[in-house]
A and B are shown apart, each in its own frame.
Chain A
Amino acid sequence: MDDYDVRSAASILASVKEQEARFERLTRALEEERRNVSLQLERANLPPERLSVCNMGGSQPLAWQQIVMQEQSPSNQTSLAMMQEPQELVEETVTIEEDPGTPTSHVSVVTSEDGTTRRTETKVTKVVKTITRRTYHPVTVTETLVESKPATPIAEIDPVTKMVKTVTTRTVRQVPLGPDGLPIPDGSSPLGSYTDSIDRRYMKNGDRYITPQATSTLTRSFNNYNDSYTENPEGQYRHYGLHDGYTDMSDNYGSLSRGVNYRPRYAYMPPNNYRPENSYTLPIRKDDYGHVAQPQVPMGSSNVELNRSQPERFHPEPYGLEDDRRSLGPEEEEAYELEPDYSTAGRRTLAGADRGRQMREPIREPARVRGGYEDPIEAELIDERHPYIPSVYTAPLAQPERGSMASLDRLERMGRRSPSIDSIRKDPRWRDPDLPEVIAMLGHPIDPVKSNAAAYLQHLCYENDKIKKDVRHLKGIPILVSLLDHPKAEVHRKACGALRNISYGKDNDNKVAIKNCDGIPALIRLLRKTNDMEVRELITGTLWNLSSYEPLKMVIINHGLQTLTNEVIIPHSGWEQEPNEDSKPRDAEWTTVFKNTSGCLRNVSSDGAEARRRLRECEGLVDALLHALQSAVGKKDMDNKSVENCVCIMRNLSYHVHKEVPGAEKFQDPTANQAPGSGGPQRKKKDDAGCFGGKKAKGRKNGENDKNYDTLDLPKRTEPTKGFELLYQPEVVRLYLSLLTESQNYNTLEAAAGALQNLSAGQWTWSTYIRATVRKEKGLPILVELLRSDSDKVVRAVAIALRNLSIDRRNKDLIGSYAMRDLVSNLPSGQQRPAKNLEEDTVVAILNTIHEIVTDSSENARSLIQAQAIEKLVAINRTSQSPRETKAASHVLQTVWSYKELRNTLNKDGWNKTHFQLTTAALPKGSKSGKPGYDDTTLPLMEKSQGNKKSGSGDVIPMDELGPDGYSTIDQRDKESKYKTGDGSGDVTEREPLKNDTNRKNFLRSNRPSVNLVDACDVKPQPVDSWV
């Protein structure tokens, strides 16, 4: 063989001699020790033999004892023999090892364990240590040799081997001597066989003697040790030398070592060692590679063939799957990393013939691989390997004709090691499991198979709607759901991951399928049970996905609201029910779990009055959300998704508080109710009251509030407010204003403005407070400033908020003076849209706000004229393509014209009555009277339209794909909102009816069917439902 040619006999001899010398020294030292010890023992009046034996028996299992005895003495001989005839002797060595040895020296050694003579012990220990280390790090030995013999690295391997072996043998003998009288931990039981395996391996190498043996297990673990513990780069080299020739080994190695290796490598690019792994994750290279030589060490490939067929090779099968799973690891985290290999692999098979090579190109970055591949699992697999080999055969992966061989092939494919193998086994016996098989494997009795199958499913489903659908049709979803209750973390985690991917997307049938097999309670149950962050992220992510589908919202509320609140929202928000005075308040943690959960609640909070009621009454929820937001403001961290979710929930819960909150009637303001619809004077009176005296007036009605109302402080309460009452306490105004000032996130801005809009609507005491508080907190300039925002929906929300705020007379005056120009500048001038090009909805909202401001205030109408608005209004009225804009504009114009004192000015500017009349084309008279714009603002209906769009727009946050696609989905929300007539962000912007005037409602209805729908929803007699 080449090895032999290369190797120079002299070098071998030299190294062998060196070793020989060392061994002799060691032997002598040991002999000495032994003599010493026995002498001492004799001196001490102990019956040495018996005692030592007793000790042995007590401390060690019998079998172990025997091994020790057998091996100890021959070792000396071995080393001697080896030195003389290195090459041939390798084999002999083994034989010798297996010979029962004479226990002579053993006695002494054991005796030393007694602990009577310290000196002896220490010395022995020392010896043991040195040698032991060698055993675990053959590298060390190699190094020595390399030093002595710088030439021909390959040649050295054999001598090294021998050295190792010999040393090992010795070590075995020493093991029972372990310092504390304990067997050396790592070595203990496997050590004997461990030695064995090493030897055999080397035999193969040197003597072309191939033994198909069952030692791969041990060998592997050996490799792991080697790999993970050696810092020496030699280790890598060594590793190659040893394994690459042995394809079978390295295959095994590849799969196993991943778990162990990854963590240490995490931070940097793994050196050579990494390459095999890459190829590992690229299962289908076979055809592409053809016969191209692999970069690895070429030796031994022919041997490999022989080994291939050995049964031992089946072990790794489960690992093959594990690798699948592993490759999924990152998928869960970073979608874009994922696409690479596995998906292609899977898709190729499932989807058909596409070989998809180019898709395989992006090779996974090592750093992306999660460290998450826990050692425990690894350990578990090792433990279970033997038991489940047989069942692997039954696994559907194996093809019928070849049985286990099929799985073997599969493994190789994965390993993708040696080209020659590929060439020989050209015929494609191996294939990816098809979908029914994978689903069948979910029910496999072996847990790792289940979890691997689930992981593979997750992977297959990633961004593939067809597969999701197929999984559903093949009834895979109920099985996955049932796995959620599986006690093994690995299994329920992977099942959950698969469900998360399946639940994502536009196909609501998948979501319904999860719900139909009680997936939602199962998820909630698991959430209560598990403390594993990753699992919790998966659960809440799945729920978030599910919550985007309207019919499931109530189901989630029914099963999970309190659990989500207690398990996630409250703990992560930092809110404490009973704050400890000593500890400072905790800040919110913007974890993924919190983000997911708040997103889920955000979605479900838009499900109508009942949903809002449930959320408001959910203990601790509002408190915790507020706390989280306050903490966000405190830390000036207001742009993240969690904050956005929280504000949106708050906004939605603030909708209709004045109607829906228990006890709201007490706070209703009777005068206010009649004010809006009725004519100017009456209204004016009310508004004046609102300015300053109004508070008193209201105070009179609700005697209790009197004092506080005057000062506009929060009404004093005997006990601190909590729960839903917090929603409309004037303190929240400052919070929302802070968000409006600081946040850069349009959705957050919109939601905060929407919350103010909701709170300032309606006629009840609290909204009066809120309107006044916004002014006192200098919120009006902040809002006006936001009219200049680039974001359409922000402008819209702010405009409507201003409109509601202007119910307060003082606010109306201020807004009229300071906001008019900004409002007007947002209007399109004629057909030519302004730079911002706002949507119809926004324009209508602004027109309605302007209308509100100029109503009952000729001063404001005057500022409107001064802001050059008439020209724009007339242009809109005449030329706008949108009937709604036309209506709203004409409405403003009519109001302006109604101020007789202004007509003079208007006439001077060249306007006449015709400009302020409805263009005949625009609308029939009847609807005109209806002030069409209002339908938009009076909006209980938004909700419905929202709902309909929801499935698309509603924050299906792509849990599984945070990649570019994922983002596009998020954005989609916004895109989607462009199509809607309703409002911008995917959440319910709920707008308050400004006035409850019946007239308006009428045309509102006629104008918009959706209104009716929504109302009908709420009004419809609910089926009787009794708590028992």
Chain B
Amino acid sequence: MSSSSVSELKERHIAATETVNSLRQRLNHKRLQLLDTDIAGYAKSQGKSPVAFGPTDLLCCRILQGHTGKVYSLDWTPEKNRIVSASQDGRLIVWNALTSQKTHAIKLPCAWVMTCAFSPGGQSVACGGLDSACSIFNLTSPTDKDGNIPVSRMLSGHKGYVSSCQFIPDENNYLITSSGDQTCVLWDINTGLRTSVFGVEFQSGHTADVLSVSISNSNSRMFVSGSCDATARLWDTRVASRAARTFHGHEGDVNSVKFFPDGNRFGTGSDDGTCRLYDIRTGHQLQVYSPPHQQQGGTVPDAPMVTSIAFSISGRLLFAGYSNGDCLVWDTLLAKVILNLGSVHNSHEARVSCLGLSADGSALCTGSWDTNLKIWAFGGHRKVI
């Protein structure tokens, strides 16, 4: 009796798999019919002119030196132009981005850090990594006898490395982490407890390591995650049981996700060498950004992987760091590369691992495996109208 139940289950599994595959094909076919154009096609039909960058329009105006290991992550404050960076040297450094001076250097209890974030108020920083925990440091705390800022809260509970963390906008006491244990977690920093775990039920969420999160600025209940399962997923923090939507298309790990400034779209960067733009309300893949050498179609073996992405404040520019040291500036509307910060004067000498825009959109910071951070700003002329 029991053995026939097992064979029945196997038959049900085969039938269900066939049904799922057939429905996915139908869904893809119907979706393709709705993709009457992409962003570049639409922009060309409207007669859009490309953004033209002169050789000195985007310049490296600061070099932040001090880390002695690869820089893995950086984050700006929402105000006052400070940056926190995390490095393989086992430190967080807080920089005054305008003066290049270091205001804090935090030696971490676990050197294997992968991510860092500033709290909205700028008083705390968070970091996480191979210790599977997220540590919070209050920058106003008195230092211990060794001159180190102590951990003010340790958020423990993940069963794998913490790959990314971000504070909820305007909430100094809540943050979201992503993890190698295939889940994302919303934490209450005051209690140190998990408020919600996203994707913990069997196959309710990502099916591989989650590498990146991005919270919407216009609706802080929505966030997207990117994973080694080649998908990005949209979540509502009120519904942890399953993702609101799953976005397919990439052919490799999704290393970086970032909301578009309007809050209704988001971008992704992947090991497959492409960036993509998706619409959260419809699920449409609106654009693929493939570097020129990849545009013949198909997957190019050994193509540089996208490590990190960011949008300019208008969304017109997409910045993407790649594993070969390139940092391409894309015209988002026309899907053209307009500048490569990896080949200009003062470019990084190794992979760009992280990047981010200042809150007012006037500066881009890039972090690299060459141990430096660099700040780029508009160097052209601006006339007051």
Do A and B come together as binding partners? no
